[in-house]
Amino acid sequence: MNLHQYAETHEVTNQPPSLDGANLYRIDLPLQEWSRRYGAGWAQERIDAYGALAGGPLMAAGFLANQNKPQFSSHDRYGHRIDLVEFHPAYHELMRTAIEHGLPSLPWTDPREGAHVARASMTYLHSQAEAGSGCPLTMTFAAVPALKLQPELAEYWLPKVLATEYDPRNVGDRHKVGVTLGMAMTEKQGGTDVRANTTRAYPVGAPGPGQAYELVGHKWFCSAPMCDAFLTLAQTDKGLSCFLLPRHRPDDSRNQFYIQRLKNKLGNCSNASSEVEFRGALAWMIGEEGRGVPTIIEMVAMTRFDCMVGSSALMRQALTQAAHHCAHRQVGGRLLAEQPLMQNVLADLALESEAALALSLRMGRALDQPDDPHQARFARLITAVGKYWICKRAPAMINEAAECMGGAGYVEDSILPRLYREAPVNSTWEGSGNVQCLDVLRALSKEPGVLDTLFAELGDGHGDPRLAAHIGNLKAAFADTADIQYRARQLSEDIAVGLQAKLLLEAGNTAVSDAFIASRLSGNGRVYGVLPRGVDVAALVQRSTPNWPL
Ligand SMILES: Cc1cc2nc3c(=O)[nH]c(=O)nc-3n(C[C@H](O)[C@H](O)[C@H](O)COP(=O)(O)OP(=O)(O)OC[C@H]3O[C@@H](n4cnc5c(N)ncnc54)[C@H](O)[C@@H]3O)c2cc1C
């Protein structure tokens, strides 16, 4: 008798083919359409090339970089202080690829129409493969407007910040062609409340903008502590001021920037986040003394934009995986993607994903037109609205996408658990949900013309009576100023979905806009998968299902 025949217990069937190696751009019709729509038609080849990298080598690197967390050593074997964080080679591959493709630099080095949209599109692809490396990439990108406020510092630092060369060596910045930048504001007693910062800055010589100071104090969160320099806040006699603090002094010695420990985080595992102390660390003042918050807000506005892009990316990757799974998985002899209730869920997820992308790239479009006052006011408002709404929608949406995959979506072999753990951080850092909603009120009440810009942008409903009614209700809600802080989340949500509806209507795909308006402006939708009757769910599911292999 041949016992060997029993060794093969079963055949593997009814499992989806692997998506490994898929070009994330080519399987994403909404990305292709929206990036073209908002001025990045010229960049499609670049975005396409990045899509191939993101779905291939970067996706593989993403798993390795998260399985092998960064390791911190405070001292070397002889007892010398070294403050070193070491990363897996996969993390460096992610950083190198992104920097070489201009993810932190493109709109600053090539500021033509559509440049912000092109960069956001590539960042969207990168973040689908791996989000943790997005933290230093984004901070490096975002530091540029703040750095420009101090021309003599910018003259030295900007060419290095904008270089497409990644140099992770633990050496002084003067030895590097390319550098990365971080940001350290949050202290133990306050993150939202940065004005409560106790870190103190002492002038080395003459005080004032561009001058050298020594900083004494701590920061409770300082992500990517192996960056070459950090924008930070400290108190002077004139109040909270912004400083650029390099990790090395000009003589190449280590600056007095001491890493206490790394945070043990829910997700975002490839990225190191640390607690640090400044014990006389040398730093240079950026911007006006005592105006540190408005100075660093120049950076924070950009990182908030990237939170929108990042959460849109996490949602898209979750949708891609779920739609692909359901297109190949049968239950009861029928593909899940063809079963009515699963179609309702998938179509709803697809709507959320596309609406998030549309608003994020519309924001990129506004950043591409900084000299247009309407666009500048739009960007001011939508930074807060979009950061709040898109980041808030992501965790629940990703959870639902994982559930579409059944048990497979809960297992670490798939990317879904990582996406799910990553999602809440975009909502928390760079100003948490409530802070964004209060900022929406601040922008609308304190900054001239922002409310008018919002309603000019929303228009009259673009021929859709449901959107027209929504806009009317929003106007009434703003006319009533009683309890406005208490209602700030509702107002921010209503702005977000109103704008998303308007953008989808403008784009002209009625299956998408109609379903969005029918579901998002009607008050239902406490969970995903409750689209009303009459929605063309098959078209929506098809639009977002990867046509793979290409
Ligand atoms: C993984 C990770 C990495 C980070 N990296 C960095 C970094 O590199 N650099 C850095 O500077 N910081 C970093 N942070 C810190 C982050 O920006 C702060 O945690 C965040 O700004 C919130 O500050 P907090 O933790 O002090 O919370 P708090 O300020 O105490 O806020 C707690 C809650 O209260 C809400 N709240 C605040 N004010 C109001 C109000 N008036 N009305 C109603 N609700 C309100 C907030 O929305 C929040 O939900 C990081 C955080 C995380 C999780």
Segment holding 242, helix H or strand E: strand 239-246
pLDDT at 303: 98
The full set of domains in the chain, from first to last, is 29-161 (no CATH), 171-294 (2.40.110.20), 296-544 (1.20.140.10)
- Mean pLDDT, residues 393-418: 98
pLDDT at 2: 64
By three-state DSSP, how is residue 296 classified? helix
Tell me if 128 sits within 8 A of 314, measured CB to CB: yes
Express each pLDDT in 110-137 by its tens digit.
Answer: 999 999 999 999 999 999 999 999 999 9
Integer Rg of the chain from CA:
24
Ligand 1 centroid distance, CA of 212 (Å): 29
The token pair at 461 is 């409903």
Q: How far apart are CA 92 and CA 106, in angstroms?
A: 20
The protein residue with its alpha carbon nearest to ligand 1, atom 42, reads: 434
Tell me if 260 sits within 8 A of 276, measured CB to CB: yes
Q: Which of 98, 125, 101 is nearest to 224 (CA)?
A: 98
- Mean pLDDT, residues 132-146: 98
Maximum CA extent, the chain: 93
Q: Is pLDDT larger for residue 67 or for residue 526?
A: 67
The protein residue with its alpha carbon nearest to ligand 1, atom 43, reads: 434
Q: Is pLDDT larger for residue 207 or for residue 447?
A: 207
Tell me if 321 sits within 8 A of 81, measured CB to CB: no
Q: How far apart are CA 367 and CA 309, in angstroms?
A: 13
Q: At 550, is the pLDDT very low, low, confident or very high (cuts 50, 70, 90)? A: low
Ligand 1 centroid distance, CA of 29 (Å): 35
Q: At 4, is the pLDDT very low, low, confident or very high (cuts 50, 70, 90)? A: confident
Q: Which of 53, 205, 193 is nearest to 133 (CA)?
A: 53
Q: Give start and end residues of each alpha helix (H) in 372-432.
A: 373-404, 416-428
By three-state DSSP, how is residue 27 classified? coil
pLDDT over 90 for what percent of the chain?
96
* Amino acid at the residue 106: L
Q: How far apart are CA 383 and CA 376, in angstroms?
A: 11
pLDDT at 523: 74
pLDDT over 70 (residue 59): yes
pLDDT at 280: 98
CB proximity list for 396: less than 8 A, separation 6 or greater: 527, 528
User: What is the number of the ligand 1 atom nearest to the C-alpha of 135?
Assistant: 8
Ligand 1 centroid distance, CA of 433 (Å): 9
Q: How far apart are CA 232 and CA 283, in angstroms?
A: 9
Ligand 1 centroid distance, CA of 169 (Å): 31
User: What is the number of the ligand 1 atom nearest to the C-alpha of 271?
Assistant: 1
User: What is the number of the ligand 1 atom nearest to the C-alpha of 182?
Assistant: 8
Q: Which of 137, 147, 164 is nearest to 310 (CA)?
A: 137
The protein residue with its alpha carbon nearest to ligand 1, atom 29, reads: 192
Ligand 1 centroid distance, CA of 467 (Å): 34
Residues with CB under 6 A from ligand 1: 182-186, 190-193, 221-223, 265, 268, 273, 425, 428-435, 438
User: What is the number of the ligand 1 atom nearest to the C-alpha of 268?
Assistant: 1
Mutational test site, ligand 1, from 85, 183, 186, 438, max ligand atoms within 8 Å of CB: 186
**Do strands 200-203 and 239-246 pair parallel, antiparallel, or not at all (unpaired)?**
unpaired
Instruction: Tell me the backbone φ, ψ of residue 523, rounded to 5 degrees.
Output: 95, -10
Express each pLDDT in 341-351 by its tens digit.
Answer: 999 999 999 99
Q: How far apart are CA 476 and CA 68, in angstroms?
A: 53
